[in-house]
Chains A and B, each alone.
Chain A
Amino acid sequence: MTSVAPVQKKSVRFRARSFVAFSLTPEAPLEDWLQRLDHWIENSPGFFAGRPVVLDLNTLDPDAGDVQGLVVQLADRGIRVYAIEADGMEALGPGLPPLLVGAKKTIFEERQAKSDEDAKPASPAKADETPASNSLMIRSPVRSGQSIFHPHGDVIVLGSTASGSEIIAGGSVHVYGTLRGSVLAGATGNREARIFCRKNEAELLAVDGWYRTAEDMEPASRGKPIQAFLENGVIQVAALN
């Protein structure tokens, strides 16, 4: 097509934007780690769907040649690696995601009274953000299939959360009804985050990436008011008295 109008010279615009990515850190032996990952995926199907994942290879420290195989194995599980973080690795093959340097450990700085777009729930549960704090108050029940993502603070649910629902919070999560879905607190690197609920029927509880599935919880904690917190890298589920 021939354009009659004079071509306007418009400069190319680059904008710096920051995103939250999940970081996966494989550990040796890799076979065991993949098995644990499979177990996790089985418990939270669809968790990685459409989520950016950065592969942190500093712990595993594999040979450059093995990285390709690992990326493929993750892709088979529906995990798309957006970038690779590895100190001292000079170059990766052209088919691999780019190397990421200078990543900061993701402790989210407290943002004051800022209601930015990504603080809204990923699916439209009726949610109002209180401008005075970074907590997200959800007044309606969280339904099966809904996912609430709030990386900048606590999430407070006044009703129940359904089996098959998911709450991911940077801070703590409080559920004043029955917790039946999955809850991931401290998801952006906060080990101090806790999960509280009036009645524990949870499918999965996680703090700072450490998780415990319903199967691994003591039967005594089911149906009771509980809190879950991280102690020496283990999720403790304790009765709330």
Chain B
Amino acid sequence: MGKVVVVTSGKGGVGKTTSTAALGAAIAQTGKKVALIDFDVGLRNLDLIMGAERRVVFDLINVTQGTAKLSQALIRDKRVETLFLLPASQTRDKDALTEDGVASVIGKLREKFDYVFCDSPAGIERGAQLAMRFADEAVIVTNPEVSSVRDSDRIIGLLDSKTAKAEKGESVAKHILVTRFDAARAARGEMLSIADVLEILSTPLLGIIPENQGVLRASNVGAPVTLSEPTNAAARAYVEAAKRLGGESSLPVAVPLMEKRGFFDRLLGRRAAA
């Protein structure tokens, strides 16, 4: 049985889709079978980030409504053969998603894949709640600024109350992924520090992705940054985060420093607790 991971944040534009693609590709490169589901019905983006927009025939809504088979809608990545995408519908809206439909799609994917990543839409409404509904684990993407952190806190509250696991009295394993971290601005006090973010959210840290032009370049060419620029600082941070998600929870998280040469020169020894 595969693991279902929701990538969520509450706030929009913090890097959910980018992170879904980068983490999913990094895990798939280790030989694990990975499916990425775009839950942003009506505003789909994951197909663009994955460079699969010209190969979309059927989508999540077609599958939940039974007009297409799951195998017809899944798009295999051209670069990593264990990586698959289930795109969202662009012409429908979130009301077209039903809980039973989502349950059945995730149930089938869980049998065939090692990891199922659900790329949540922004907000806390129906789309976001269905994306997290059947999750075993959650990656909460946060930028180091107050509004993003407060929205993440709200999402953690929902993960603890509105998911299938929470309703059974179990809990969804939660991880914080800090993205767009700018070491220079954090040092000047223009951003929340990592310690502040973790103190407010009191949830273990999965990784810190530095602000990096390579991430934008990767989006523009339609490739996860972990595939297109594997030596890039952000890509390396995503690969390490993927390892932690895969169980190497003792791998220390490096806080990017503002030295001109390399972000990862010094390890502060912060540990990602499981």
- Interfacial residues, chain A to chain B (CB-CB below 8 A): 123-126, 140-141, 143-146, 159-160, 162-164, 177-178, 180
How distant is the Cα of A160 from the Cα of B198 in the complex, in angstroms?
Answer: 12
Which of B153, B160, B166, B202 is the one whose CB lies under 8 Å from A144?
B153
State whether A144 touches B161 (Cβ < 8 A): no
State whether B199 touches A144 (Cβ < 8 A): no
Return the chain B residue nearest A199 by Cβ. Answer: B199
Q: Across the interface, which residues of B come within 8 angstroms of A159, CB to CB?
A: 202
State whether A163 touches B161 (Cβ < 8 A): no
How distant is the Cα of A140 from the Cα of B160 in the complex, in angstroms?
Answer: 10
State whether B199 touches A178 (Cβ < 8 A): yes
Least CB distance from A153 to B in Å reads 23
State whether B160 touches A145 (Cβ < 8 A): no
A/B interface sample: 20 pairs, CB < 8 A: A123-B161, A124-B161, A124-B166, A125-B160, A125-B161, A143-B153, A143-B156, A144-B150, A144-B157, A145-B154, A145-B157, A146-B157, A159-B202, A160-B200, A163-B150, A164-B150, A164-B154, A177-B202, A178-B200, A180-B200
How distant is the Cα of A185 from the Cα of B202 in the complex, in angstroms?
Answer: 25
Which of B150, B151, B166, B202 is the one whose CB lies under 8 Å from A141?
B202
Question: How many positions in chain B have a CB within 8 Å of any CB in the partner chain?
Answer: 13
Which of B151, B154, B160, B202 is the one whose CB lies under 8 Å from A126?
B160
How distant is the Cα of A177 from the Cα of B201 in the complex, in angstroms?
Answer: 12
Q: Across the interface, which residues of A come within 8 angstroms of B151, CB to CB?
A: 144
How distant is the Cα of A140 from the Cα of B156 in the complex, in angstroms?
Answer: 11
Least CB distance from B240 to A in Å reads 27
Known: A162-B150, A163-B150, A164-B150. A143 touches B157 (CB 8 A): yes
State whether A123 touches B157 (Cβ < 8 A): yes
State whether A162 touches B200 (Cβ < 8 A): yes
Q: Across the interface, which residues of B come within 8 angstroms of A177, CB to CB?
A: 202
Q: Across the interface, which residues of A come within 8 angstroms of B161, CB to CB?
A: 123-125
Q: A163-B146, A164-B154, A178-B200 are in contact. List 8 more A-B contacts (CB 8 A).
A: A125-B160, A143-B156, A143-B160, A144-B150, A160-B199, A160-B200, A178-B199, A180-B200
State whether B200 touches A143 (Cβ < 8 A): no
> 0/1 per residue, B191-202, Cβ < 8 Å to A?
000000001101
Within 8 A of A (CB), among B126-166: 146, 150-151, 153-154, 156-157, 160-161, 166
Least CB distance from A96 to B in Å reads 36
How distant is the Cα of A123 from the Cα of B154 in the complex, in angstroms?
Answer: 12
Return the chain A residue nearest B202 by Cβ. Answer: A141
How distant is the Cα of A211 from the Cα of B244 in the complex, in angstroms?
Answer: 46
Which of B146, B154, B166, B199 is the one whose CB lies under 8 Å from A143?
B154
Return the chain B residue nearest A180 by Cβ. Answer: B200
How distant is the Cα of A146 from the Cα of B157 in the complex, in angstroms?
Answer: 7
> 0/1 per residue, B241-261, Cβ < 8 Å to A?
000000000000000000000
